[in-house]
């Protein structure tokens, strides 16, 4: 008797689908020795997989590309999503630069490494997750569409070789509208899916900015508090830059962002904090996505002012994050400031502020862990 195999029931999911694809690999492979070319590909793919972190999940490797996905309710959105991809690109380029610097081999493969680069393709839609040979496979028309746009005319028409391509559906679903307005508007037509409209971000300036970035050094730290959060840095960063959640750390009634750059919080932007009738302006001095933000605020105190430069620093601990708040000894003017800066202030006021900072960090931790858990109702297979 012939038995009919029962197929598993697959539940449709909705979320972002992403392909990271190495640029120029076919030419590199054709002009290089196979063994060394394969070693280079393996090393770069390892970097790409490492940079695909929760809440994105790697589905599989596709030759010289990595396919990953997320599930709505458990993904980054807005600026945090854009910056997580940019951070992945920066790490890829750093790995590429190290390969070039550290090799003394004169073979074609090693000589041609600098010709490689990276592109990202981001779509949002419906897909099902199935198991095949121990791997999670994505199926659906939106998955097929993403693979179709790998073949496009972006480089031919714009000259951009390293980029992030966001489909119109991704822009709308991930709340990227204002962030993508300055990006290149592009479209291609495909026989099976018709016209696909996309926004294209040139990653060249992203790499140049990362190379030119300087790190603000604290000469002397007066407050150094931390809390450990059961979320990856990518998720913590998304909450940290959101004024609604960020206000929990400082205990302000509300916060607003001013002076954004093309829809983004960046160096020179301001978080305006409201504490009752008092307003405190936090000016961003350094902005390193997923790593740290340094800001300066000047607060009026009885008989003078208090001038503080502070930082929030994120440190990865596996799939958890250590969030730190650092203050050097404050500057300022007036009698009240001189009291704060005195030995009495160091013995009494700085410990009081440290305890206050710790309560804020812990409250932020509890709030975002609860928010993340309430959004993560869909379980991955």
CB-neighbour burial class of residue 255 (10 A; exposed 0-12, middle 13-18, buried 19+): buried
- pLDDT exceeds cutoff 90 at 331: no
For residue 297, the domain's CATH number is 3.30.530.20
- What pLDDT was estimated at residue 124? 97
Taking the CB of residue 332, how many other CB atoms lie within 10 A of it? Answer: 18
Q: Does one domain contain both 177 and 31?
A: yes
List of residues 6+ apart from 153 with CB closer than 8 A: 186, 188
Total domain count, the chain: 2
Rounded distance between C-alpha atoms, residue 364 and residue 266, angstroms: 22
Q: Does one domain contain both 258 and 196?
A: no
Residue 1 lies in a domain: no
**Bridge partners of residue 66, in order along the sequence:** 20, 61
Q: 258 versus 29: which is more confidently predicted?
A: 258
- pLDDT exceeds cutoff 50 at 336: yes
For residue 45, the domain's CATH number is 3.30.70.1230
Predicted confidence band of residue 91 (pLDDT cuts 50, 70, 90): very high
Residue 224 lies in a domain: yes
- pLDDT exceeds cutoff 90 at 54: no
Q: Does one domain contain both 328 and 255?
A: yes
Q: Does one domain contain both 250 and 220?
A: yes
Residue 8 lies in a domain: no
**Which of the listed ranges 23-37, 94-108, 175-189, 215-229 does the model predict with the highest average pLDDT?**
175-189
Q: How many CA atoms lie within 13 A of 341 on its CB side?
A: 16
- What pLDDT was estimated at residue 7? 47
Rounded distance between C-alpha atoms, residue 378 and residue 381, angstroms: 10
Residue 7 lies in a domain: no
Structure tokens at 88: 């992945």
- What pLDDT was estimated at residue 28? 65
Task: Report the chain's mean pLDDT, rounded to a whole number.
Answer: 85
Report the predicted TM-score, pTM, of the whole model to 2 decimal places.
0.86
Give the rounded percent of residues in the chain with a pLDDT score beyond 90. 57
Residue 6 lies in a domain: no
Lowest mean pLDDT among 295-309, 314-328, 342-356: 342-356
Q: Does one domain contain both 199 and 239?
A: no
Q: Does one domain contain both 173 and 122?
A: yes
Q: 339 versus 258: which is more confidently predicted?
A: 258
Predicted confidence band of residue 344 (pLDDT cuts 50, 70, 90): low
- What pLDDT was estimated at residue 1? 47
Rounded distance between C-alpha atoms, residue 329 and residue 242, angstroms: 27
- What pLDDT was estimated at residue 223? 79
- What pLDDT was estimated at residue 379? 40
Residue 58, domain extent = 13-209
């Amino acid at each position: 008797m012939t038995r009919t195999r029962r197929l598993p029931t697959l539940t449709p999911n909705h979320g972002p689908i992403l392909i990271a694809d190495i640029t120029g690999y076919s030419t590199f492979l054709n002009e290089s020795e196979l063994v060394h070319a394969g070693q280079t590909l393996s090393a770069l793919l390892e970097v790409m997989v490492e940079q695909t972190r929760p809440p994105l999940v790697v589905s599989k490797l596709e030759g010289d590309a990595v396919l990953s996905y997320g599930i709505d309710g458990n993904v980054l959105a807005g600026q945090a999503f854009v910056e997580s991809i940019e951070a992945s690109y920066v790490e890829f380029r750093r790995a590429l630069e190290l390969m070039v610097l550290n090799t003394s081999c004169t073979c074609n493969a090693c000589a041609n490494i600098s010709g490689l680069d990276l592109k990202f393709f981001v779509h949002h839609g419906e897909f099902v997750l199935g198991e095949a040979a121990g791997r999670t496979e994505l199926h659906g028309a939106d998955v097929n569409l993403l693979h179709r746009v790998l073949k496009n005319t972006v480089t031919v028409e714009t000259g951009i070789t390293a980029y992030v391509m966001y489909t119109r559906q991704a822009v709308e679903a991930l709340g990227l509208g204002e962030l993508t307005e300055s990006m290149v508007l592009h479209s291609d037509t495909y026989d099976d899916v018709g016209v696909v409209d996309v926004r294209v971000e040139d990653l060249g300036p992203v790499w140049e900015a990362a190379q030119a970035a300087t790190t603000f050094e604290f000469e002397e730290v007066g407050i150094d508090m931390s809390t450990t959060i059961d979320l990856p840095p990518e998720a913590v960063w998304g909450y940290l830059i959101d004024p609604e959640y960020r206000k929990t750390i400082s205990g302000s009634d509300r916060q607003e962002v001013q002076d954004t750059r093309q829809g983004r919080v960046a160096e020179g932007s301001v978080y305006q904090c409201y504490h009752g009738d008092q307003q405190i302006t936090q000016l961003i001095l350094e902005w390193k996505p997923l790593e740290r933000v340094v800001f300066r605020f000047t607060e009026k105190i009885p008989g003078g002012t208090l001038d503080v430069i502070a930082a929030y620093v994120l440190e990865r601990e596996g799939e958890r994050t250590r969030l730190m708040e650092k203050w050097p000894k404050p500057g300022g003017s007036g009698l009240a400031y001189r009291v704060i800066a005195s030995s009495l202030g160091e013995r009494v006021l700085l410990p009081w502020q440290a305890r206050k900072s710790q309560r804020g960090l812990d409250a932020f931790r509890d709030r975002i862990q609860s928010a993340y858990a309430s959004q993560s109702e869909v379980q991955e297979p």
